[in-house]
Structure 1
Amino acid sequence: MNRIAVYCGSASPEDPRYIKLARQVGMTLAARGIGVVYGGGRLGLMGAVASGALEAGGEVIGIIPEALANSEVANSDCTELHTVSGMHERKQKFTDLSDGFITIPGGVGTMDELWEAVSWAQLGYHTKPVGLLNTFGFYDHLIAFNRHMAEVGFVRPAHQGILIHADHLADLLDKMAAYEPHTPIFRMKAEDL
């Protein structure tokens, strides 16, 4: 993987572990020669991921919607900063420019990005690994809910391995590197659906 899109919050929680984690993710990816594609902001976990990667000499490509760029939250320190018209174009660029996705702690926007990456993988819009970093048990309930959706029958057996998760970044990157694309819905027969 040459570049990974990192989805995370633009907020700065009171607990300093989250900012520290984000910086470490950026630094680790840069140390492994993996470029960071992210939301283009300078605040919160987003800014910390970018700072960590840049300080470690890594490539950082920011993709920010015009409305946010105009509100002065854009990170002008990025290797490249792309300003796009809106969120749909932003997520398409994340997909186009990356070889995989990692979600670290975040809020509603982060969840939107994660689930779209999973949904697009199910359908066949991409065949890239979708990783979830579950540090501090932040995503325990989400992982359980994903399992529940599968148990009830809303996630097909062929797609139950799309969401890859681990508690540590090194383990997650190893799992993502070993990911073998599944059969997307677009290539399934009606009887398989």
Structure 2
Amino acid sequence: MTDSSSNSSAPPPDAHGTRWGDREQRRLDILRAGEDLIVSGGYDALRMRDVAAGAGISLGTVYTYYSTKESLFIAVFAQRLDRMLPDLERAVAAAPTAAAAFIVTADAYRDGYATFGRQFDALSLVTDASAVQSDVAEHLRAATARMVTSLAGTLTRFGYRGDVAKAMTLLWSTMTGLANHYSSERREFLPVEWSAAVGFTAETLAESLGLT
């Protein structure tokens, strides 16, 4: 005879299949609901009440995980970077030239920037302790550092012998500028296709840095 008494009083899973007390899955439900709103309408569409509705929980429960809208935004961004980085690291490692490595990184960066950077600078928030929870800010720092490390390693792999920190400042600023240009109305003033602009930039940077 099967004893089911231990399960008889447990609340059933909600509409997302999340069981009561499963905090990690509940956190993922909140992040999924938040990302859906950001992708569809940008930062302004991220309303905590709508996140609660999308996750199938109360508004108060959302705030027990993320105390501010800014913290939730950063958490969604960091999680998205975590999902992107394994594929990006493999693509960068397989790139035959430094220019090719820059191109795949710029392509990935642009995709995230269009959603998380065009209307709102996520990275500018991580130093504001009053707006963003410390653990969330640290998660974004770690994910960003991993991306920078991947690209910095590529510099040395292709023969760069100069100051890596200075070179990374140039590469990161260039990627941000390209992503900003092509995610806004500025692209109408210099109507060059993204692939052509990034390809030219990659070859120019590789040559100027003496990369093979």
- TM-score after normalising by structure 2: 0.28
Structure with the greater alpha carbon radius of gyration: 2
- TM-score after normalising by structure 1: 0.30
Which structure shows the bigger proportion of residues in helix conformation?
2
